Amino acid sequence: MDRQLEPPLLIRTVGHAHRISTLDTYNHLSSFIMHLPPSTSRTQIERVTDALGVECGVVDVTEEERREKERARRREEKRKLKRLQREAEAAEAEAAEASEKEGAQVEEEEERKDVLDEEDEMEGGVGDGDVTMDDRGDVEYGDVVDEDEDEPDNDDQGLGQDDSDE
């Protein structure tokens, strides 16, 4: 170590400890509450301060009850405001979802119209009743085309049954 550490702080009492009165405690807490932001802690300190004020006679019992009712009213207003905000957010989400579905339906309708327009153009260029591969459209997985008459059906696989009418 290059330098010497400072000695620890030595705390000495300046005067004798004395007990603080209820009125002094009420006064200190009343002035302290003014600097606190609205929170649960502030509400609890307000309640303690009101109880001390009633005990020392500075605050009337009816005033304490009125303050408690005011706190309950503010708390209920906050709950109501939060509930209204949640409902508004839910309504906005529903509106966005509905407009998204409507947009998807419009796109599907436009695609169908485009496909129909292309088919109409194709029919105009092809002769009477001539079908080309382009006219059949897209074949998707699972689509079954039963145009092949020369292949045997799966139902008649030599089970010994006779198809003749008796």
Tell me: the pLDDT tens digits for 61-80?
898 899 899 999 999 999 99
DSSP character at residue 18: -
Lowest model confidence (mean pLDDT) among 10-24, 28-42, 47-61, 142-156: 142-156
pLDDT for 124-163, tens place per residue?
554 445 556 555 666 666 656 656 555 565 555 555 555 5
Contact 69, 47 (CB under 8 A): no
Q: Is 5 domain-assigned?
A: no
Among 48, 47, 53, which Cα is nearest to 22's? 53
In a domain, 76, yes or no: yes
Report residue 29's pLDDT band, with 50, 70 and 90 as the boundaries: very high
Terminal Cα distance for the chain, rounded: 118
Neighbours of 108 (CB within 10 A): 10
CA distances from 94 to 86, 89, 154 (A): 12, 9, 50
Answer yes or no: is 85 within a domain: yes
Q: Is residue 137 part of a domain?
A: no
pTM flag (> 0.85): no
pLDDT (average), residues 23-46: 90
Query: Is residue 113 assigned to a domain?
Result: yes
User: Phi/psi of residue 19, each to 5°?
Assistant: -80, 135
Q: Give the chain's domain count.
A: 1
Q: Reduced to 3 states, what is the DSSP secondary structure of residue 45? A: helix
The more confident residue out of 136 and 118 is 118
Is 95 within a domain?
yes
> Could you tell me the residue range of the domain that residue 73 belongs to?
22-119
135 inside domain: no
Residue 166: is its pLDDT beyond 50? Answer: no
123 pLDDT above the threshold of 50: yes
User: Does the residue 13 lie in any domain?
Assistant: no
Residue closest to 41 by CA, chosen among 33, 53, 31, 51: 33
List, in order, residues 6 or more apart from 145 with CB less than 8 Å away: 139
Average pLDDT along the chain: 79
